[in-house]
Structure 1
């Protein structure tokens, strides 16, 4: 998508994920201590809200998240700068875990790991900044406009949350996307002048989620 090269901040984030994830692969006690777990967080271990985003289940999980981050991070860095990139990254990570905590607040055994919420937030920031960007998926031979992908991804996440599809934290992905959406608009309010229509379209899945939850149809 871009030829900007990889920035120092992206290298640091990817390196942190790799180092901490590998530590978790080799040290089960470390993994259990810092993963997202509802019961532990409710007992006061809030560090898990952050640390869980740097742990992964295996090499393929880590690679997929870091590969996706690699493609979109530097576009956001180039547009908003390193500091705002970090705000979006960590804000999306926390927002994703907050949504997971909210939806699973009574499931004290519920656990999760991975940078997916943060990565999804960066992806959505990139889509907001350039809604017409072309995205390619390996099973679809034609480019997909970024805003179409964004809407479709969130709708699929709602479906996944409702039907508990796979061993995937769909709520964390959705929360991360909302975090990226909201924080990017706060940091870059001129988007309301240039991309207002796309902003409205990308808000549709968020509204649908809210309505489904309020009407009890998400459970």
Structure 2
């Protein structure tokens, strides 16, 4: 069993447990006020294993399944036998880093909560796009695949715009900063990916 599947199984297990245990959900959810005023920094990480409902959980875990395996192979190539450990660290740091802007923005709002693996999943998704920018990405409501580099640009623009608007219950900041972290990390550990990315994109044609 690969590391990606282990992460998925653990996340599903924790989410199910929290749905059946409101005290666990309350204790582990990301609440910036509790983090800043009571020093409960563990919430930055534990909230990444909680989800609001089946739709939220399935969307994140399917995305992780389709792209996590590839990044796991990349890390095995880059780091050898330690590739699995790097994947775990990359994913967990992505969750934490993506929550920091939310922590700062809502630190004085005791009623604000957020949860989900979107930061870590976005980090993995955008790391994969950096290596394979022409791979089509399919959305549930669009039957035609969108090349990864185009999807990535639209995703970042939309997440940034919605985060600035501040409406709704979706933590768009986590999506945006998780994606940025994933790209920057891969550039630091494997700089060659940048010219490779542009070589692939320059050869893309719509027709």
User: Which category of TM-score, normalised to the shorter sequence, fits these structures?
Assistant: 0.7 to 0.9
Residues 122, 182 of structure 2: 8 Å contact kept: yes
Q: Does the CA-based 8 Å contact 1:10-1:74 persist in structure 2? A: yes
Corresponding residue for 2:54?
A: 59
Unaligned 5+ residue runs, structure 2?
Answer: 77-83, 202-207
How many residue pairs were aligned? 193
Aligned to 2:81: none
Q: What's the counterpart of residue 37 of structure 1?
A: 31
Match of 1:80 among 49, 55, 75: 75
Q: Which residue of 2 aligns with 1:173?
A: 175
TM-score by length of 2: 0.87
Q: Distance in 2 between matches of 1:140 and 1:59?
A: 21
Show structure 1 runs of 5+ residues with no match. Answer: 1-6, 200-219
- Please, what TM-score do these two structures have when normalized by structure 1? 0.82
> 2:99 is matched with which residue?
97
Q: Which of residues 159, 163, 170 in structure 2 aligns to 1:157? A: 159
Counterpart position of 1:204? none
Q: Cα offset for 1:197?
A: 7.4
Q: CA deviation at 1:134?
A: 1.2
Structure 1 residues 46, 173: CA separation in 2 closer, same or farther (over 3 Å shift)?
A: same
Indicate the residue corresponding to 2:192 in structure 1. 190
- Measured in 2, the distance between the counterparts of 1:84 and 1:8 equals 13
Instruction: From the superposition, tell whether residues 131 and 59 of structure 1 become closer, same or farther in structure 2 (CA, over 3 Å).
Output: same
- Name segments (4+ residues, structure 1) moved above 6 Å: none
Aligned partner of 2:64 among 66, 69, 82: 69
Mapped partners of 1:197, 1:108: distance in 2? 48
Measured in 1, the distance between the counterparts of 2:85 and 2:198 equals 25
Q: Is the 8 A contact 2:33 2:106 kept in 1?
A: no
CA drift at 1:192: 2.9
Are the equivalent residues in 2 in contact too, given 1:128–1:198 (CA < 8 A)? no
TM-aligned CA deviation for residue 20 of structure 1: 0.7
Counterpart-to-counterpart distance in 2, 1:175 and 1:86: 18
Structure 1 residue 15: Cα displacement: 1.0
With 163-172 and 27-36 compared, the bigger mean Cα shift is at 163-172
- Do 1:91 and 1:180's aligned partners in 2 also have CA atoms closer than 8 Å? no
Kindly indicate whether residue 30 of structure 2 is the aligned counterpart of residue 28 of structure 1.
Answer: no
Moved more, 140-149 or 46-55: 140-149
How far is 1:126 from its partner? 0.4
Q: Distance in 2 between matches of 1:56 and 1:141?
A: 26
